[in-house]
Amino acid sequence: MRKERLIVPLVVGLALLWGIAQYLSGVLFERELARALDDLAARGELAVKRSDVDRGWLESRGTLHLTPRFGQAWHLELPYVARHGVISTRIDGELRLHFGPGDRRLFGDALPSTPPTWQARYRTLGATLEGHLELAPFIVSQAGRELDFRGGRITFGGVYGDWRLQARLAPWRLSDGPVTLEAGPTTLESRYAYTEGAYHFSQQDLLKVERLGWHQPDLELEAHGLVLHSRTVLDEQELRVESELTLDRLVTAEQVLLSGRVALELSRVNADALRSVLAVLRDEAARGDAAQDGRELLARLEPQLLAMLQDSPRLDIHAIALDSPMLGLDARGDGALFFDSRRLEELSLVALADPDDQASEQARWRTRLYGDLTWHQVPKVVALWLGLPLDTQDLEIDVVRGRVRINGRPLPPALERLQ
């Protein structure tokens, strides 16, 4: 009898614990989702919101909306259903992409296929999320043009403040009569780490395209081993963007036209001014005006945008290493460009967008450019073309108030007209 009397409270206790765990699983999932969406919106590029939200005990559902801050180029809807378990939550959803001013659906209007589905699992104890999206192959033909897409897979996951994404796309081909563009296989690896509100963040991206080909009756170009690596960091003082582009070889007429690498870094973009710009954009998005890209908004943003230049942004050309066996030329160089940030009140972004004032304002901005670039071991044919002695070893390219001089000499007339 004593054992029987213990069974009932034990069952009730276990049921109560299960109910509490089930409830906490749903609460924690909703909290982490809301935090992640808020920080994604704080990044600045996208307006993020949720609609049709239903927070249930065993099941939650809703629709995520991602749109660019300006324009109406596209709109991404992600309807989802989250089924909460004691130790994890399973999320099932769709990807519905709308584009153009008519808000056409990519899957259903432009493509005769249903929207792709995605699945993810959120683990309550570790607060980790892992998911994937499968892209099915399809062929689209219209007015003589054809897109042959052979599918792909996107995986994503991580924890709050540290997310990773990996995309693998099979080769695809776009043809328009005798002209064809082919690319792939393609891989993208991305990692985004941030503090709350995206006050500080860093993002690393690695894009690899094994082959990129352009074919038409009188020209064939094939690039192999195209790799782009970039790193963006926003810290307390500045925004820095580092990029490196590597090309294994560009082939035409069965000869190597070009190979090499270029490494650049943009730095000294004022961090506080950038954050103030993002704050204004978030206000505009909340008011529903972000889609209206007009002079009024540009005028409102102009003080903050100009303030981003107050630390004299710098573009470092860490390395240029290009070879052209076909042309018998090579380029090895490095250098830097600077922006003179004194008297920023004399500059106007609004005037840059005004066709009547554009030319004079562009000239005013060019006078703020200073810098130098060295081309090491310049080929003799280049020295001859520039009117320099044939024994010239290096080209010293100086930029002063936007005017370019090479080894102390003004540019040749043909190039001077381009300034």
Reported as a single tens digit per residue, the pLDDT across 3-56 is 555 565 555 554 555 455 555 666 777 777 888 888 777 776 777 888 888 877
Whether 379 contacts 330, CB under 8 Å: yes
Q: What six digits make up the tokens of 194?
A: 């941030």
Q: What six digits make up the tokens of 380?
A: 């003799």
How many whole angstroms separate alpha carbon 398 and alpha carbon 153? 48
Q: What is the pLDDT of residues 219-268, one digit of tens each?
A: 899 999 999 999 999 999 999 999 999 999 999 888 999 999 999 999 99
Indicate the Cα dihedral angle 46, 50, 55, 59, nearest 10°.
-80
Q: Which of 328, 321, 335, 324 is nearest to 372 (CA)?
A: 335
Q: Could you check whether the bond before residue 185 is cis, i.e. omega within 30 degrees of 0? A: yes
Beta strand 74-84 with 88-94 is antiparallel
pLDDT surpasses 90 at 166: yes
pLDDT surpasses 60 at 324: yes
How many whole angstroms separate alpha carbon 82 and alpha carbon 53? 11
For residue 9, how many other CB atoms are within 10 A of its CB?
A: 10
Q: What six digits make up the tokens of 86?
A: 């004691």
Burial (0-12, 13-18, 19+ Cβ within 10 Å), 291: middle
How many whole angstroms separate alpha carbon 141 and alpha carbon 148? 9
pTM of the model: 0.83
